Amino acid sequence: MSNLEKWQWKEQELKPISWKFYDTCEKFPDREAQLFNAALYHGDNNGRFTWREMKERVEAMACALMSMGMEKGDRIGIMAGSSPLWTHSDMAICCSGGVSVTIFPTLSFREAGYIMKDSESRFMFVGDTKNLKMMLDGFSEMPALKKIVILDHSYESSDDRVIGLKKFIEMGNAWKKDNYDKYIARKDSIKIDDWYTIIYTSGTTGEGKGVVLSHFNGISRMAGVDEFWTRYGMDIDETDRTLCFLPLSHIFDRGSCQLAAILFGSTIAYADKPGTLFDDMQKYNPTWINCVPRLYEKIYIQFRQTMEENPTKKKIFDWALKVGTEALEYRKDANGGYNMHKDFDLASKLPFMLRIKFKIADKLFAKIRGLFGNSFRHSFSASAGIAPDLLKFFYTIGLAVVEGYGSTESFNACILNPVTACKPGYMGINANGGQTRIAEDGELEISEAGVFSQYLNKPEITKDSFTDDGWFMTGDLVVQDEKGYFKIIDRKKAIICTAVGKNIAPAKLENLFSTSSYVEQVFFVGDERNFITALIVPNFNYFMDLFAKEGISVDKSKFVMDDSSGVAICTKVGDDFTNNPRLKELIKKEVDAANQNLESFEQIKNYTILNERFTENNGMLTPSQKTKKRVILDRFSPEIDNMYK
């Protein structure tokens, strides 16, 4: 199904993102633009910016950049966690004609320095003193860099290379008094084809590539979003509110949260930390959020564990789930899609007796839905697929999780499930202003809205990434049903090719462990080998609790904890922990259960239990939480070889 779809944006006069920002500020000057915990930002504006106030802040920061000699087209790094200040920085760079270069705040200097040098960034925003020190230590290795701005109102610098946010804003306001016309001229000179941002891909198999995204890429995609969301009753406006907690350094929250809110006038609330998500949901009551599959999996696992601790509650909820599952079928269409729109009246579709039971069951479901606040309509999920059964669980309790597919190169989702017909196991249909087709070998190809034009400083790789007729080759293998829904098989490069000629998609195997209480991470091996093996990271936190309950003694001095997300997570344990017979018994149980759902050539014939999680800190995960294949294969080469002896 490769017929081109007609989109309204192609008939419209598209304006740059800077123009759209000012348009929203003028339409809704006194409506809330941003909400946040002021205590985390030295009381900044009492935790609330209207669109008028946000425009004033953006102008001050933009003028400060221009006062330091920033020219149109200059690249400027942003290395900070998601915050209102991140958004201010992004819009200040945008409106002064600059190009933002996003850098995940968890990167090492080797990676961050490479991005700054490759992009030839002249200025940089950093979020904290830790990264400031790191970048200052390597300052001489970034020849284009002139000045670093630290996003901290209280910071005072004696180093000429650094300026604190308070002084930076004051400097901008002072320059603005006599030079405002120069700023306006710069802003008005921005064209639709000018560059807006450069985002570096994670580089799971090699060096990251700088994806150049123009104002046209962003605005054409968001115009397509407006049309698609409106078509299926998913549209947003100035009365809506989103909650930002994923990294704005990544295109997902940058587009579907920040830019969507800016273009449509919605309010952006900012979570304190990822670990405080549900507290922040209660506090801000968003109407939509972006999320990743792993969070949904953790919600389900935590809920199931809580139920198992109370047999009476479990029995009641099992009954409710059975009723809910029966009722869910009345949301289903002929193609297997579920209508999860907020206005769908499920109760009216049910037979009388089922309707009575469902009303009772739904009182229990409402308590779970309440965790997401009292205004929640739906969430978008991307970065990886969600197990269909897990999606059905959330649909059963009345939570609309809308899966989609996109990439940095596509400026957000180009495939999306309509909320009126969400099909578990499928990423959705052609969406948001672009075009999709499938190559002869099954690779997804995309064009038009949002699709980037080049990788920075890599003309040969750019050329090799596009077909002769200009379609971007995504590297993802897909199939499509008769209604146009796409199912992602796996990354082309991720497919395991065994020595006996079998091709195996790791994503299929990974899904079998996605809701496991015992297995936290799993990495599959099998390229040019005779069979599949796995490196398994147990859920250390789960087993810590289990061992404590069952009186099993382990060496706690070997525990390594990380609370940077707001929740204490164990990242490393001793060998005595992973060699414990109880742990090994439960891991074997999970592997055996998974193998029952696999063909013989797909089955896990051997595995090794690891005592360390894959993390960004140890270099085995990318900032977007994808495993780094080459790093893991090198790091655990002896263990892998041993599994094949």
**pLDDT (0 to 100) of residue 604:** 96
Specify the pLDDT at position 394: 94
Q: What is the mean pLDDT of each run of 10 residues along the chain (645 residues)?
A: 83 97 98 98 97 98 98 98 97 98 93 96 97 97 97 94 98 98 98 98 71 98 97 96 95 95 98 89 96 82 81 91 97 97 96 97 92 93 82 95 95 97 96 96 96 96 96 94 92 80 85 90 92 96 94 95 82 96 96 93 95 91 84 94 93
Q: What is the pLDDT of residue 383?
A: 65
One-character DSSP codes across 344-374: --SGGGS-HHHHHHHHHHHHHHHHHHGGG-S
CB 280 within 8 A of CB 272: yes
Question: What is the sign, positive or negative, of the torsion defined by CA atoms of 513, 515, 518, 523?
Answer: positive
**Tokens encoding 352:** 């009388």
The CATH homologous superfamily to which domain 17-190+237-286 belongs is ANL, N-terminal domain (3.40.50.12780)
* CATH number given to 291-492: 2.30.38.10
pLDDT of residue 1: 46
Return the CATH architecture of domain 495-643: 2-Layer Sandwich (3.30)
Give exposure, 174-211, as e/b (b: 16+ Cβ within 10 Å). Answer: ebbeeeeeebeebbeebebebbbbbbbbbebeeebbbb
Contact 212, 454 (CB under 8 A): yes
Domain residue extents for the chain: 17-190+237-286, 291-492, 495-643
Q: What is the pLDDT of residue 206?
A: 56
